[in-house]
Structure 1
Amino acid sequence: MRITEARVIVCSPGRNFVTLKIVTEDGVSGVGDATLNGRELAVAAYLREHVVPVLIGRDARNIEDMWQYLYKGAYWRRGPVTMSAVAAVDTALWDILGKVAGVPVYRLLGGRSREGVTVYGHASGSTSDALLSEISHYVRLGYRAVRVQSGVPGLPSVYGVSEGRAYEPASAAVPVESVWDTDRYLDHLPRVFADVRAEFGPGLKLLHDVHHRLTPIEAARLGKSLEPYALTWLEDPVPAELQEGFRLIRQHTTTPLAVGEVFNSIWDCRQLITEQLVDYIRATVVHAGGITHLRRIFDLAAIYHVRSGSHGATDLSPVCMAAALHVDVAIPNFGLQEYMPHSAETDAVFPHGYRFEGGYLHPGEVPGLGVDIDEELAGSYPYRAASLPVSRLTDGTLHSW
């Protein structure tokens, strides 16, 4: 089971993806996602120059040893570029192991803890009518949970709100700038959720992403004002570098908190989990070191009654989504899985066996991850430079986006 080849594939079927494909001497291959939105080429270079050369000749079955080698051996630990590269290798090796064993990866992780993975969709609208229409669309499709993002009167654009259902923030090669006003947002959002609950009642799970835009006391105020509408979670209320800030939020609101899509390791999560400052941890396969390390994070979280809520936007390829589903179906403390369907072009490049049915995603029973990459088709979609936007307050001060 020696590794004989590892290929880094960069393509853009509607948006940029980085994929690692590892091939063994037995002809078995596995794929891993290495996409880092807006910094894809940094990870591709890291893989090609520093990772691929050390993979050749190693035993693909030694997944834990490989993870430790790539993490400890680099000396410069953690960070999104390094951990996305490590994740790509780790995920591809789990894919290979599943194929060799003849079972889907979730069987190797302990088997099923549930029949399906509950997912949430993204509903947004610049007006109340548009938002309610979008939520109705997801309810008709069978979704049991919906993330609600609304336009704010007086602001020309707001994170998460798009004209169509597909939201892709990375656009121009040079970052686009947007304007933000916290007071307008805090005043408007409770009215949005009042309208949504009045229309859809108590049964639908509702979520909202603040996207790191508030201070702890502002987030506490928002959480308290949203308590009557029983959110399943309030996501990324503040930048998580100051983890003590979540303690202040906790002191003032019972609205559940979710955080972690920009986390890269268990050490980023440790205080928030062990001090029970959050309710859902949103780390994901590709940015948190692969299946091996994500499972460590979720195992720690289980001890402290913290559930999973992995990031799953379209800036992650179907390879990452497939891997996430195998973890989701196996762990005991699963919460929710974000799910944004990919474009037809992306699905064609990444044929996969997972499926959406009745509000649940199912990983399928194909050995391995159940996903692959059509390299010839991928070659017809060359990389296109695209950057995430930046945000400024009305006075011009640079603000968290």
Structure 2
Amino acid sequence: MKITDIRVIVTCPGRNFVSVKIVTDEGLHGVGDATLNGRELAVATYLTEHVVPTLIGRDPHRIEDIWQYLYRGAYWRRGPVTMAAIAAIDTALWDIKAKAAGMPLYQLLGGASRDRLLVYSHAQGTTIEEAVENFGRKHELGYRAIRAQTGLPGMPHVYGTGPYSVTNDADLDAMPREEVWSTSKYLNYIPGLFEALRRTYGWDVELLHDSHHRLTPIEAARLGKDLEPYRLFWLEDAVAAEHQEGFRLIRQHTTTPLAVGEVFNTIWDARLLISEQLIDYIRMTTVHAGGVTPMRKIADFAAIYNVRTGAHGAMDMSPICLGANAHLGMWAPNYGILEYAGYSEEMLEVFPHAWRFEKGDLYPGEAHGHGVDINEELAAKYPYKRAYLPVNRLEDGTLWHW
């Protein structure tokens, strides 16, 4: 079997997605996700100009060799653009291999470790009352785990509480929206959200919360301690994790479970966090961590230290990424949970899929491969729109982590 064609497809059915479709001389094809939110064309160009020409004619079954070729062979390793490009190729190759084997991807990885995948959704509001009400709507849909966020009194929309967060414009004149943040107001206010949620919905639903890298280690330790009475499933991205050692301080002061990793690109970004058991969940995801090949290794490494998986699954990762994450979760013995933010009807039409959501769980399906494809004709009807994630500043104007 030989690779005869690789197409890079950029489409915007509500959000920009970058996909790769690898075609073989035996009629099989596979697809992978290469989306990097706000920098989509950087990845598309990297693929088109630097990756695709090197792979035509290669054997698609040599997945590990191709992965090493793209990672080690480039010399300038790692980084979000490189790893998203590698991820798309790798995921598409696993899709082809599983199709050639006549089985769903999770079977090829070693078979199922469970019958279904617990997932979590999002509930937010500009006030605690609004967030509690929206939480109830998700609970009624069957979600047994829900991430809750609330706005802060007297402040504009903050992370996860306002309208659709990505700015885009058909005339290509969109600029990043700037938000305002106050850590002191946040730390004083946020425990009240979880007190209200427990009072309203009891203890049979899992509560999650995302600080989006905005705290210092001692601030994160204080928040984790303040949230202990409400028994969170996890506190996510409490600090900017480039400084892995900062988690030692957090761990010393709170028993609230910690999750991190959505912006990580390789196992080296999480090695210390995992080996010292400074986190409880690793949130690396297929499209940003280099594909299925490294995600298998990351899951195995994490299992040694009792760290479970909790793959990032926001809407800016395409349904292809969700499909790959679901099959990895079906296999991984240390699976914890999977983020499922949901997709619009237009997105799901562009990406026909085998996975399904039912009563708080995701089922990857039994289609051969990872079970997701792309409708190229329909994708072409949704042209790319330049888009940005917001930028965040403190109240005095200092640029801060978004």
With the length of structure 1 as denominator, give the TM-score of the two structures: 0.98
Equivalence map 1:333-344=2 (5 Å): 333-344=334-345
User: 2:229 and 2:254 mapped to 1: Cα distance?
Assistant: 11
TM-fit CA distance, 1:168: 3.9
In structure 1, the gaps of 5 or more residues are: none
User: 2:166 and 2:125 mapped to 1: Cα distance?
Assistant: 15
1:317 maps to 318
User: 1:64 and 1:8 mapped to 2: Cα distance?
Assistant: 21
Q: Which amino acid aligns with 1:309?
A: G
User: 2:165 and 2:349 mapped to 1: Cα distance?
Assistant: 19
1:142 maps to 142
C-alpha offsets along residues 186-230 of structure 1, whole Å, 9 cap, x if unaligned? 000011111111111111100000000010011111110000000
2:59 maps to 59
2:266 maps to 265
Other structure's SS at 1:195 match: helix
TM-fit CA distance, 1:130: 1.5
2:347 maps to 346
User: 2:166 and 2:230 mapped to 1: Cα distance?
Assistant: 28
Other structure's SS at 1:242 match: coil
Q: Is the CA contact 1:354–1:361 (under 8 Å) kept in the aligned structure 2? A: yes
1:43 maps to 43
User: 1:278 and 1:23 mapped to 2: Cα distance?
Assistant: 40
Q: Which amino acid aligns with 2:166?
A: P
TM-fit CA distance, 1:137: 1.1
User: 1:64 and 1:341 mapped to 2: Cα distance?
Assistant: 31
User: 1:267 and 1:89 mapped to 2: Cα distance?
Assistant: 21
2:7 maps to 1:7:
yes
C-alpha offsets along residues 339-365 of structure 1, whole Å, 9 cap, x if unaligned? 011111100100101000121100100
C-alpha offsets along residues 338-396 of structure 1, whole Å, 9 cap, x if unaligned? 00111111001001010001211001000011111010110010000001111111111
Q: Is the CA contact 2:244–2:270 (under 8 Å) kept in the aligned structure 1? A: no
TM-fit CA distance, 1:170: 4.5
1:371 maps to 372
- Identical pairs, percent: 63
User: 1:399 and 1:331 mapped to 2: Cα distance?
Assistant: 36
Q: Is the CA contact 1:176–1:389 (under 8 Å) kept in the aligned structure 2? A: yes
TM-fit CA distance, 1:162: 2.9
CA gap of 1:20–1:158, structure 2 versus 1, over 3 A, is same
1:245 maps to 246
User: 2:57 and 2:165 mapped to 1: Cα distance?
Assistant: 39
User: 1:168 and 1:85 mapped to 2: Cα distance?
Assistant: 24
1:305 maps to 306
User: 1:234 and 1:169 mapped to 2: Cα distance?
Assistant: 24
Other structure's SS at 2:389 match: coil
1:109 maps to 109
Q: Is the CA contact 1:269–1:297 (under 8 Å) kept in the aligned structure 2? A: no
TM-fit CA distance, 1:129: 2.3
Q: Is the CA contact 2:280–2:307 (under 8 Å) kept in the aligned structure 1? A: yes
User: 1:297 and 1:252 mapped to 2: Cα distance?
Assistant: 27
The root-mean-square deviation of aligned C-alpha atoms, in Å, is 0.9
Q: Which amino acid aligns with 2:314?
A: A
User: 1:255 and 1:366 mapped to 2: Cα distance?
Assistant: 38
Q: Is the CA contact 1:236–1:258 (under 8 Å) kept in the aligned structure 2? A: yes
2:188 maps to 1:209:
no
1:180 maps to 181
2:84 maps to 84
2:72 maps to 1:72:
yes
2:222 maps to 221
User: 1:279 and 1:105 mapped to 2: Cα distance?
Assistant: 26
User: 1:59 and 1:168 mapped to 2: Cα distance?
Assistant: 41
Q: Is the CA contact 1:168–1:314 (under 8 Å) kept in the aligned structure 2? A: no
With the length of structure 2 as denominator, give the TM-score of the two structures: 0.98
Other structure's SS at 2:92 match: helix
- Tell me the matched-pair count: 398
Q: Which amino acid aligns with 1:317?
A: S
CA gap of 1:333–1:46, structure 2 versus 1, over 3 A, is same
1:256 maps to 257
C-alpha offsets along residues 257-288 of structure 1, whole Å, 9 cap, x if unaligned? 00000000011110000011100000000000
Q: Is the CA contact 2:165–2:389 (under 8 Å) kept in the aligned structure 1? A: no
Q: Is the CA contact 1:97–1:368 (under 8 Å) kept in the aligned structure 2? A: yes
TM-fit CA distance, 1:171: 4.2
Q: Is the CA contact 1:32–1:87 (under 8 Å) kept in the aligned structure 2? A: yes
User: 1:358 and 1:114 mapped to 2: Cα distance?
Assistant: 16
2:166 to 157, 169, 191: 169
User: 2:278 and 2:128 mapped to 1: Cα distance?
Assistant: 32
Q: Is the CA contact 1:171–1:388 (under 8 Å) kept in the aligned structure 2? A: no
Moved >3 Å (runs of 4+)? 167-172
Q: Is the CA contact 2:91–2:324 (under 8 Å) kept in the aligned structure 1? A: yes
Q: Is the CA contact 2:212–2:237 (under 8 Å) kept in the aligned structure 1? A: yes
1:17 maps to 17
User: 2:32 and 2:192 mapped to 1: Cα distance?
Assistant: 42
C-alpha offsets along residues 80-104 of structure 1, whole Å, 9 cap, x if unaligned? 0000000000000000011111100
C-alpha offsets along residues 112-142 of structure 1, whole Å, 9 cap, x if unaligned? 0010110001000112221111111111111
1:195 maps to 196
Other structure's SS at 2:129 match: helix
Other structure's SS at 1:22 match: strand
Q: Is the CA contact 1:210–1:234 (under 8 Å) kept in the aligned structure 2? A: yes
2:102 maps to 1:97:
no
